[in-house]
Chains A and B, each alone.
Chain A
Amino acid sequence: MTVSSFPGILNSEWTKIRTVASTTWTLASALVVTVGSSAALCAVVSATLDDMTPQERLTFDPTMASFVGMTFGQLAMIVFGVLVVGTEYSSGMIRTSLAAVPRRVSFFFGKLTVATALALVVGLATSFLSFFLGQVILGDASVGIGGDNVLRAVIGGGLYMAMIALFSMGVAAILRGSVLAICMLIPFFLVISNILGGVPATRKWAQYLPDQAGAKIMQVVPGGMDGSTTTYGPWGGFGIMVLWTAAVVLGGYLVLKKRDA
């Protein structure tokens, strides 16, 4: 069979993704950075547990605490997502690919499927590792995986990472390249979103930004840690992130479909 079918495209994208070095180092650093910096924070919290006020102790969310490193780990995920799509453009590989597959819709969604699936696997490994290591370090303040909503939060950590990667792929497809996409996404998720979410005046609408909303899925104690309350629940927040991502991916697809490659 030599029909340009969807399984063939998935095969091809899997070959592409596993044969470049950037895949390994971005995904490995997403895992290492998240687990490492989460563990470091948990160690700090564990050491200062006695200094907490009763109020702080009440809203302390040990699950969320073991995911704090994701703020930095997600940057590697962003780079992964951007590079998967962006290097097709910067290397010119897109022309070779499209001259072989006339159906751009299959090509685009095949690529996104493979890359997102890989990001999900690495994301889940990251969140489980991060959770268990964090709980071990927290000791007395820790929770078990069987606690209320804890498993949802841990799986949600993996979903969050996959969604961040997919969002980045969409942005790279809209911008048709890696450099501009990274220059926009990294400052946005590292600085701008956090500032907007941290300042009371802007928090009201910053809570609808993709990362702020999506991160709620990792929360077990409502309003825990940062003390902010939202108008949506954990799944609602993740749903908002999915909507953002869907919009960006659709935009990326339209750009690929309409523009000359």
Chain B
Amino acid sequence: MIEAVGLTKRFGAKTAVDQLSFQVKPGHVTGFLGPNGSGKSTTMRMIVGLDRPTSGHVTINGRPFRDLPNAQRHVGALLDAKAVHGGRRARTHLLAVAQLSGIPEKRVDEVLAVVGLQDTARQRTKGFSLGMGQRLGIATALLGDPQVLLFDEPVNGLDPEGILWVRNLMRQLAAEGRTVFVSSHLMSEMALTADHLIVIGRGRLLAEMGTQEFITHNSAGFARVRAADTHPDGRDTMAAALTGAGARVLKEPDGALRVTGLELPHIADLAHGAGVRLWELSPHRASLEEAYMRLTQSSVEYASTEDPRAELWEPEPPSVPAWEDEEEAPQAPAAAFYAPPPPAAGGQPFLMPGSPGELAAAAKNHPEESR
């Protein structure tokens, strides 16, 4: 169990974490979501005592981290996959960390097997990929067989197989009754892994609820209905029929209707009854990612703006009015619209050797040109 009360961290004038209060309960995977720079890592660092909160406090199993008599047996953390000495081998790195708490050497080989690094255990870690680093970091967190586990962006740099493995590992750890706290900036990943979500933005708590609850709250389904263009008032007739049946209807810019509150078969029946021919009737679900974006929109730290390239481009010269020099636009035959451009007259369109060895021969004939 992790409990934060009024947790605040300021770096100079910048408030990284602002009055954050939450609970992470055992037996669940709790996702910690927020855009980049929203204070997730700072919060995690405060939980394991690396940073001191400016105010407020956070406890693990009721005690501040620094007062835990035997920290590694209570909490294991993966905060930064690259926080290892590159010149040390994976196994000795783990051994050194294990010895800090008197954890037996046998445990090192156990966790190496759990994360699948037993074959690379004798390699120096500077040659590790990010994914291997993540596995080593997870092994470090598991060393003390702790009840509370923190993982900061554990799937970064992992391949799909690794992501699946992490997902299953988290679920399994939670099923064993442990407290699992995983941060991510990917809603889609958390929707698959976490039972419970804590969403923050700019260091403030935005939402704390179950994942299912979050999904039902934030992603309303709708149907898209498109009447045939051939009939001019098809759309209006359809909209009237739908509204009459109690649906909520929104008009989309391209002429389709966005319908909520009715099942698809019912909509089809209504269209049939109203004599409207449909070109589209499709189910849609606003993605969780969209809901999350809406939620965190105002609190994105690094919002991008259009690149004006002000100094890089000269303003366009005033163009010649179209009517002064009007020429017929060349008519492309409809059939050739998608055809590839014809080869240039007499030459080859691309540098493609007609036969193997042709390029090599050309290079031999004109060595200075080919360079």
Contacts and interface: CB of A to CB of B under 8 A. Distances in A.
Interface of A: 1-5, 7-9, 11-13, 15-16, 19-22, 87-88, 91-103, 107, 260-261
A38 B38 CA distance: 59
Contacts of B144: 2, 100
The majority secondary structure among interface residues of chain A is: helix
A222 B307 CA distance: 74
Contacts of B87: 20-22
A102 B67 contact: yes
Contacts of A260: 45, 50-52
A96 B84 contact: yes
Contacts of A100: 71-72, 97, 100-101, 140, 144
Interface of B: 45, 48-52, 65-73, 77, 79-80, 82-89, 92, 95-103, 140, 144
Nearest to B66: A102
Given A2-B101, A88-B85, 6 more contacts: A3-B101, A12-B97, A95-B80, A96-B140, A98-B50, A261-B50
The majority secondary structure among interface residues of chain B is: loop
B333 to A, nearest CB: 64
A88 B92 CA distance: 15
A19 B100 contact: no
A93 B73 CA distance: 19
B72 A92 contact: no
A96 B79 CA distance: 8
Contacts of B92: 15, 19
B85 A2 contact: no
B89 A19 contact: yes
6 contacts: A12-B96, A13-B96, A19-B88, A88-B85, A94-B83, A107-B100
Contacts of B86: 91
B305 to A, nearest CB: 32
Given A5-B102, A260-B50, A97 B97 contact: yes
A8 B96 CA distance: 9
Nearest to A3: B70
Contact of A93 (B51, B83, B99): B83
B80 A4 contact: no
A95 B79 contact: yes
B83 A91 contact: yes
Given A95-B79, A99-B79, A4 B71 contact: yes
B84 A91 contact: yes
B85 A91 contact: yes
B84 A92 contact: yes
